[in-house]
Structure 1
Amino acid sequence: MPPTHPFYVDWTFWAVIVALLAVLLSQLPPVHILLRPKRLEVEVHSRLQVTHQVGNPNVGLYVNIANTGGRELRVRRVQVDVSRDGKYLGALPAQNYFETPSSQSSVLFVPFSLKPGEHWGHAVNFLSFFDRQTEKLYRQNQSALDADIRRKLDARPKGDEQIVVAEQSLVAPFTALFDRLFIWEPGEYVFALSVNADPGSASYTKKYRFTLYESDTLALRKNAEDYQYGGGISYNVPRHVGVFVPLAEHVG
């Protein structure tokens, strides 16, 4: 009987192992990719849109989020935290975004995944929705305001195109809501942008700053003048787009 040798001195065995290892490695990304840290890089546009919906603060900003790491990441939440002159005003989460620069309507923001090298860039709207009770009252008051305006429009003589004004008692709930929610007073603002991701080590936060002047606040407050006509409540008014202000990196 010929002598037997351990399998590990059999070069045929190792040739098979090397071949299998080559096939396995061909299905995996390069080692230098695997060893790269889990990382997000975020860029924003240099101008910020500041506006409101019956006082409820809104911010519009173009945000580009890129996965520059070696593993797939999932972006769970994007939000901004706003402060004025050192006083914290609140958090505004991303609620919707425009899919393309030419989109006329926005789509709902939902969590999304990014593979290595992929990016997500869109114009994003940041705001807090009304709570349930406020939303209910808003819709009731809107319905009453619309009915009053429609009744007055229908009562106009034929050929009369004069604008009609709602009863002050029906406008009052909206001006009161505006007074309660409006935050865009003149001052120096700090704007903290946070991107929360899985895994958490990939999450990102960076602070920016912008300034609102008295003229900016006045322009935003003028929106309330249209509530008596239903503007900004029942239909959009072009000048209610808000003000666009320079955004700079905050140091300190």
Structure 2
Amino acid sequence: MWYLDWQFWSAVAAFSALVLSQLPPLKSILKKGEIELKKQTSILIHHSIGTPNVNVFVSLKNVGGRAVNVNSIRIQLTRDGKELPILIATGYFADLNAQQTTMFTPFELGTGESWAHTINCHEKWDRSQRQKFRAISSKVRDTISDKLKQGPLPNGDLHEANAEQIKEIHEQFVNNFQWLQGEYSGLLQVMDSNDKVMLSDEFKFTIFESESNELKAGVEDYRYGYGIHLPISQKQQGIWIDLVG
């Protein structure tokens, strides 16, 4: 009889051992993807015509058993209990020496893989905001370009936009500016391909009146085109804020 055949049972034992040897990998495969998040203990806050921007170093590692898809990263802020616009990560610095950001696009993290970069998060403008900024940016650029054709100013002075354009820029800044004095709470969220929250991390920080004023000071350089059609000036680079939590 087959059940008395020792060779048959030896084959069964060998097959069972083979199956058991594969159980750890199978268990790993069945385990869900899980992300470990670490962030820098300080952030760079700045703004674009008043619209809040945040730069923060984020490290993501897949410590689970399946690959995970990261669709987006965003930051939800509140100031003294008032909810502010959501800031979306639209770019990141590819390495420590990068001067320009690389566009943020969805990516996959395999088991054990990491993604660690400084991300730039800002409010997504609606169509009206984009049109207003493009219009004033073009006007300022053309005005300053025309003045430059007439030659440089004495004493190293810089050419400016006209008074009407400067007023319009200041109005846009006032409407957009959010970095007021107060206590801030933040929620950094990592979103999956279905735009659902995979992971979130809370933090807090304080902006003092002097820091808010320092951020406002950069508006004076808009008249020269800095931060409009030219790169930002020294005063527009933002300030570092320590996080709590």
| Structure 1 position 22 matched with structure 2 position 49 | no
Alignment partner, residue 83 of structure 1: 78
The partner residue of 1:241 within 219, 237, 242 is 237
Q: Distance in 2 between matches of 1:92 and 1:158?
A: 40
Amino acid aligned to 1:209: K
Alignment partner, residue 127 of structure 1: 122
Change (3 A) 1:198 1:54: closer
Structure with larger Rg: 1
TM-score, with normalisation over the residues of structure 1? Answer: 0.85
Q: Distance in 1 between matches of 2:50 and 2:194?
A: 36
Any residues of structure 2 matched to 1:186-201 within 5 Å, and which? 186-197=181-192
Change (3 A) 1:157 1:68: closer
Change (3 A) 1:71 1:186: same
Change (3 A) 1:40 1:171: same
Checking the alignment, whether the CA contact within 8 Å between 2:189 and 2:197 is kept in structure 1 is no
| Structure 1 position 167 matched with structure 2 position 162 | yes
Equivalences, count:
244
Deviations 1:188-222 (A, max 9, x none): 00010111236899811121000000111011101
Checking the alignment, whether the CA contact within 8 Å between 1:38 and 1:201 is kept in structure 2 is no
Q: Distance in 1 between matches of 2:5 and 2:168?
A: 88
How far did residue 137 of structure 1 move?
2.5
Change (3 A) 1:38 1:198: farther
| Structure 1 position 62 matched with structure 2 position 65 | no
Change (3 A) 1:14 1:199: farther
Change (3 A) 1:176 1:202: closer
Change (3 A) 1:6 1:199: farther
**4+ aligned runs moved over 2 Å, structure 1:** 5-26, 28-38, 156-162, 197-202
Change (3 A) 1:58 1:157: closer
TM-score, with normalisation over the residues of structure 2? Answer: 0.88
SS state of the match for residue 30, structure 1?
helix
Change (3 A) 1:12 1:212: same
Q: Distance in 1 between matches of 2:127 and 2:21?
A: 54
| Structure 1 position 113 matched with structure 2 position 101 | no
SS state of the match for residue 200, structure 2?
strand
How far did residue 32 of structure 1 move?
4.8
Structure 1 segments unaligned to the other structure (5+ residues): none
Deviations 1:70-110 (A, max 9, x none): 11111122111000011111211111101111111111111
Deviations 1:143-192 (A, max 9, x none): 11111111112223698743112111112221111111100000100010
Checking the alignment, whether the CA contact within 8 Å between 1:79 and 1:93 is kept in structure 2 is yes
Checking the alignment, whether the CA contact within 8 Å between 2:180 and 2:207 is kept in structure 1 is yes
SS state of the match for residue 150, structure 1?
helix
Structure 2 segments unaligned to the other structure (5+ residues): none
Amino acid aligned to 1:162: D
Q: Distance in 1 between matches of 2:219 and 2:125?
A: 18
How far did residue 126 of structure 1 move?
0.5
How far did residue 235 of structure 1 move?
1.3
Amino acid aligned to 2:161: A
Change (3 A) 1:17 1:137: farther
Alignment partner, residue 209 of structure 1: 204
Identity of aligned residues (%): 29
Checking the alignment, whether the CA contact within 8 Å between 2:56 and 2:120 is kept in structure 1 is yes
The partner residue of 2:35 within 35, 40, 52 is 40
How far did residue 30 of structure 1 move?
2.4
How far did residue 231 of structure 1 move?
1.2
Q: Distance in 1 between matches of 2:17 and 2:197?
A: 31
Change (3 A) 1:29 1:159: farther
